[in-house]
Amino acid sequence: MSDQRKPLVYIISAPSGSGKSTLTNEVLKLVPNLVFSISYTTRALRGSEQNGKQYHFISMKEFERMVADGEFLEHANVHGNCYGTARRFLREAGQSGNDLLLDIDVQGAAQVKKNLTDAISVFVLPPDRKTLEWRLRNRGEDREEVIQRRLQDARREIEEYDKYDYVLINDQLEKSIERLKAIVISERLRREDRIKSEQERAIIERAERLRLANLREKVQPILASFRAPEASAHS
């Protein structure tokens, strides 16, 4: 159909351990007509992962073919493993009348924003470095050197927060789920050229408080906790 609705694209980025996957999973349950783009990766399956559920697991040769054929909206090499978002998910979302949610890192987010300038981007932050370290250790998934590397990566990644439209500090899960839901719904409401109800205006106002310009001050102590000298010391 020629008047096919253009899907809204939501980009969610965060350091590992910030609770991004939990947030996105919960919001996908709560918001109708929102679908998740499952990334392609060359890394090996872990634990109970299933092909086509967490990721589409493919060989490096197949990944390189997809890159050469221009099949990716974005792709990046992270710690020797390649990850990419297929363009077809954008087409399929438009055909089915859905909006698309991307869970990608800062490299991928920059590429998507370059290709889709109207994509809506959200950066999820932990309350501070100590909380992030606790979450990483509590998962019980990684060796000590991996945890330290993830903390170093987090320090670098959070410096990119000001390239995003919204900032979400994941201090309390239930509240954070509601905040992310408000962002998603408010962007849909903004697209609709009609008078909004009182409830809809309240959702838009709630999301507005999470815009980058309104969160810069709150973010500074979080950044400082990662930059402090003791942050690099092993506790």
Segment 193-205, tens digit of pLDDT:
999 999 999 999 9
pTM of the model: 0.90
Rounded Cα distance between 145 and 178, Å, is: 34
Flag whether 103 is in a domain: yes
- CA-to-CA distance for 158 and 188, rounded, in angstroms? 27
Give domain status of residue 4, yes or no: no
Angle between helical axes of 144-157 and 212-227 (0-180°, round to 10)? 140
pLDDT for residue 34: 97
With a cut of 60, say whether residue 234 has pLDDT above it. Answer: no
Q: What is the pLDDT of residues 24-79, one digit of tens each?
A: 999 999 999 999 999 999 998 887 888 988 899 999 999 999 999 999 999 988 87
The secondary structure element, H or E, covering residue 67 is: helix 60-68
Six token digits for residue 91 = 């087409």
Give the position of tokens 């906790």: 225
Question: What's the domain count of the chain?
Answer: 1
Q: What are the φ/ψ torsions at residue 101 (nearest 5 degrees)?
A: -110, 125
- CATH code of residue 197: 3.40.50.300
Q: What share of the chain in percent tops pLDDT 90?
A: 74
Residue 13: name the closest of 106, 88, 92 by CA. Answer: 106
- pLDDT, position 2: 39
Q: What domain range includes position 159?
A: 9-232
Do the domain assignments include residue 35?
yes
Residue 2 domain-assigned (yes or no): no
pLDDT in tens, 8-32: 999 999 998 888 889 999 999 999 9
For residue 1, being part of any structural domain is answered with no
Contact 129, 234 (CB under 8 A): no
Distance CA 118, CA 173 (A): 28
SS3 state at 31: coil
Specify which residues 167 forms β-bridges with: 123
